[in-house]
A = this chain, B = another copy of it.
Amino acid sequence: MPKTRKNYIKHCINIDVKTPIKDGFRMPAEFERQEATWLGWPSNPGTFRINPAQAVIEKVARIIAKYQKVHIVVQPSTWEYAYELFKDCKNIFVTELNTDDNWLRDIAPTFLTKNEGKNIYLRSIGWKFNGWGNPKEIKHDMDALAALKITNTLAIPFYKKFDFVCEGGSFSVDGQGTLMTTEECLLKHRNPTLTKNQINNILSNYLNLSKIIWLPYGVANDTDTTGHVDNMCVFVGVGKVLLTWPKDCGTSKCLDKEQEKRSLAALRVLENTTDAKGNKLTVYKMPHPPILRYTKDEINTLPFTKGSFVREPNVRLAASHVNLIITNNAIVVPIFNCPTDSEAIKLMSQIFPERKVYGVYAREIVIGGGNIHCMSQQQPYSTTA
C-alpha cells in the first residue's frame, strides 16, 4: 500500500476546466474507435408509436452489441421491462433517466478525448437544448439536463456551454479539425442573434476545429430539426463525406426538385472547399429514397400530445439513408423498403470494407421526426476519465 500511495494523488486533483481547445481536447469522428454507443429508448407517446418504434431500436441495439457496448437510456417506469428484454445480451446496459423525448444524439453529451502518452482522457460538452429552436412549443426541461446527468454518471469533467443552442445532429466532424453544419439550422433557427463568425468561434473553441464548412440546407422537409446536417451529409472518413443525392439529381429527369435543390447546393460548397488539412473532399453520393409521406393510419395512431410536434397526413417524411450509425465494426443503415435500400447498403460496404453493414427498416423512427442516428450518440474510446 504505502508504495503506491503517491499514485493516488492524481485522483485528488480538481480538474481546472477552461475550454476544450485550451485543454487540448477534441471531438473524435464517429468512424474513430469507440467505447460504446448510447441509444434512446422510444417512450414518448407524442413522438412514437411505442411498440414498433422500440422494435426498431431493439434491432439496432442488438446489431451494435455484437461488437461493442450499448447503453440504452430509458424512462424509470420502463427500466424493468427494458432490462428484462435485453438481459440475454451482456453488451447492452440499461440506464434509467428522466427525459422528455428520446433523441439521444441531441440530448446526450458531445464527447471529447485527449491523448497523453498511453492514456486517452474523456470529457464532454453540454449545449443549450431548447427543443430544436422551439422553446415554447416543445417540452424539453428534462432533455435539457440529460447531457449533464449522463456526464455525471460517467464521472467525467464537463464543459457547460448552456449559452449556445446546438444539438449533436446539427454537426458532423472529421476528428481532424473540420466540421460540417448547415446555415438553415445553426445560423437561422438556433442562434439568430449570433453571426456566422461568432458561431465559428464557439464551435472551434469547443470542438477543437480550424475549418467549418457551412452547407446551406438540410434535407427536404426536415421541419423538426430545421436542417440537421446528420440527415443530409456526414463525414465517413478523413476527406470523405456522404451526401444524400436524389435520383437523376441535376438533370431534367429528377422528380424530387425539393431535395435536388438542397443536394446541388451542398455539392457546390463541398466541391469548392477543403478540409482543415487543406485537402479536397471526396463526395460519396448516397441515393436519396423516393418521396415518402405520412399515411393516414400513421397519423391516426400517433397521438398528438402537448409539447410534441404536430403531424399531418400526406406530409413528406424527412427520410434519408445518411442518418446511419457508424460503430467500431458495424454500420447500421436505415432502410425504408424502397429501391434505394440495397444501393445504400452497397455504397456503405464500399466505403467501409472492414465493417459489416446492416440495413434496419426504420420508418417507425422516421415518423417520429428523426432517424436512427438521431437516437444514438457515440462514446469514443478512452483509457481513463
Taking beta carbons and an 8 Å cutoff, which residues of A are in contact with B?
Answer: 1-2, 4-5, 7-8, 11-12, 14-15, 17, 31-33, 35-36, 66-69, 71, 76, 79-80, 83, 89-91, 93-98, 145, 148-149, 152-153, 155, 157, 328-329, 354, 383-384
Q: A93-B152, A152-B83 are in contact. Are A354 and B71 (CB under 8 A)?
A: no
Partner of A98, one of B11, B89, B96, B329: B96
A76 to B145, CA, bound (A): 11
**Contact A91–B328 (Cβ < 8 Å):** no
Name the residue of chain B whose CB is nearest to the CB of A80: B145
Q: Give, as a whole number of angstroms, the nearest-CB distance from A183 to chain B.
A: 32
Partner of A94, one of B36, B71, B152: B152
Partner of A12, one of B4, B17, B33, B67: B67
Contacts of A97 in B (CB 8 A): 96
A80 to B35, CA, bound (A): 28
Q: Give, as a whole number of angstroms, the nearest-CB distance from A61 to chain B.
A: 13
Partner of A8, one of B31, B67, B71, B145: B67
**Contact B69–A8 (Cβ < 8 Å):** no
21 contacts between A and B (CB under 8 A): A1-B32, A4-B33, A5-B328, A8-B67, A11-B35, A12-B68, A12-B328, A12-B329, A14-B90, A17-B90, A36-B155, A71-B155, A76-B98, A79-B149, A93-B153, A94-B152, A95-B149, A95-B152, A96-B96, A96-B98, A96-B149
